Amino acid sequence: MRTAYTADQIRGAEHALMALLPEGTLMQRAAWGLAAVCADLLGRVYGKRVVLLVGSGDNGGDALYAGERLARRGARVGAVPAGSKIHEAGLLAFRRAGGRVVDRAAIDDADLIIDGLVGIGAAGALRESYAELAAQANAARGAIVAVDVPSGVDASSGQVPGAAVRAKVTVTMGAYKTGLLVDPGAACAGTVELIDIGLGAHLPDPDVAALTGGDVDLLLPRPAHESDKYRRGVLGVAAGSDLYTGAAVLAVGGGLRAGAGMVRYAGTRAAVAQVRRHWPEAVVTELDRPSVDGVGRVQAWVLGPGLGTDDWAHELAARVLASTVPVLIDADGLTLVARDRSLLRRGAPVLITPHAGELARLIRAERDDIESARLEHTRRAAAELGVTVLLKGSTTVVAEDARPVRVNVTGSPWLATGGTGDVLSGVAGSLLAQGLSCYDAASCGAYLHGLAGRLAAGGAPLTAADVATAVPAAIRAVSGGTA
């Protein structure tokens, strides 16, 4: 599992470790790792033009000491001071190795730019002079390597309140920072390289975690020799309508492909006909009234995709949520809940899977605010609503009150197409029916859904049905250790 920490957590661990080591040891370890990554990126170091953007803090010192090492290997290294202060010992070592202080014009011709403007303790937007350097670096032809976190990105949240460096590679020291895993900060970080400087034993419980394929493999339910279709989990799906039949087909497909022993579908005539045609494996019940009394026993429900938002849909939602099994609520189900919060007053677990607009309606916030501060609003929703929240988007995050937020690291931009969220509902709902908690079902469901999207796309457009079809391949990849 990849774990990440806030700036305060990292600084606390650094202070504890520095008390045990000679002064400057951590900076030298960081500079060694930074220089090694830069050298690999350059390929041939000798004769290459490297420019350091040097702030007044320790990140500037890391950049100067890394520049010293590159200069000793024959690179032509210049440092652009961003303010009136500079790390004196680092500057002395840098100059002794042949490095020079240069003006900002050198940025434009650099083969490599090292961003050491601000460190993890910086908050708020970059001040104007720093913002100008960041903009010039972003526009230059050279690759940018950020020290610890791209300048302008909040290390603890991933928020980007103003201008920010857009790095090709971020070399982060000691542990991942939360802001490197969550958009919009993650989009500025590029590839993240972690340098071990010895913080491990001094780190607290993580702020954020990201599951690996191995983690998902350990969590996924596996059928035993004595399993039958009922023991493998029965998923109920209350989705679709005469107008939106496809949502029912996709949610049922996701549930079947993710390993449920049985999927029971309950819906209106037109949706039932489509589910029967696409998924003869599903057990279907045509509803003539908004009740699920005759559907049969299930271990979990998926509620909402394509259901509609009229009185009939509201009554059906109320009946599903009156059950005693876990319920995943998506799409139209979320609109119904946003109108009537009393639907969430139940004793059994609830997992909601909104996008930013749906979450905005649920917690009375602005969509843009949610997009810019995904962690903050997902945590707020989990605490305020008393549910597990899977917030979909460029960074999918899973929050449950009093637990670390989980960030999903799989996916593809091609997943931004209609119907893929319905498949995700079916996948996560299937895992709920198989016995996973909301927290684990959401996390594993997002991982498998993202991986299936990546496998299905292969760098080309896809449809939601393609994603559902690729879910078994994603499970095989996780099980075989290739994900």
Binding-site members for K(+) are 59, 115, 151
For 396, which DSSP code? -
Model pLDDT, residue 224? 76
Annotated binding-site residue numbers for (6S)-NADPHX: 58-62, 119-125, 130, 148, 247, 306, 355, 422
Mean pLDDT in consecutive groups of 10 residues from the start of the chain, 483 residues: 96 96 95 98 97 95 98 98 92 97 97 96 93 98 98 96 97 97 95 96 96 97 75 94 97 97 97 97 96 96 98 98 98 98 96 97 96 95 98 95 95 93 98 98 98 93 97 95 76
Rounded distance, CA 397 to CA 375, Å? 7
- CA-based torsion, 419, 359, 320, 312: positive or negative: negative
- 218: Cα separation from own chain's centroid: 20
What pLDDT, on the 0 to 100 scale, is given for residue 483? 75
148-187 in b/e form (b: 16+ CB < 10 A) is bbbbbbbbbbbbbbebbbbbebbbbbbbbbbbbbbbbbbb
pLDDT at 140: 98
In the DSSP assignment, the letter for residue 127 is P
CA distance 104 to 133: 8
- pLDDT at residue 228, as a whole number: 65
Task: Give the residue numbers of the binding site.
Answer: 58-62, 115, 119-125, 130, 148, 151, 247, 306, 355, 392-396, 421-422
Annotated binding site for AMP: 392-396, 421
477: tokens are 């990849």
pLDDT at 86: 93
- Paired with 208 in beta bridges are 4, 405
What is the C-alpha to C-alpha distance for residues 6 and 121, in angstroms, rounded to an integer?
A: 10
- Domain positions in the chain: 2-206, 213-479
pLDDT computed for residue 330 by the predictor:
98
Q: Which fold has domain 213-479?
A: UDP-N-acetylmuramoyl-L-alanine:D-glutamate ligase (3.40.1190)
Give the whole-angstrom CA distance, residue 296 versus residue 262. 11
Fold (CATH) for 2-206: Rossmann fold (3.40.50)
pLDDT score of 268: 96
Please count the other Cβ atoms lying within 10 Å of the Cβ belonging to residue 89: 13
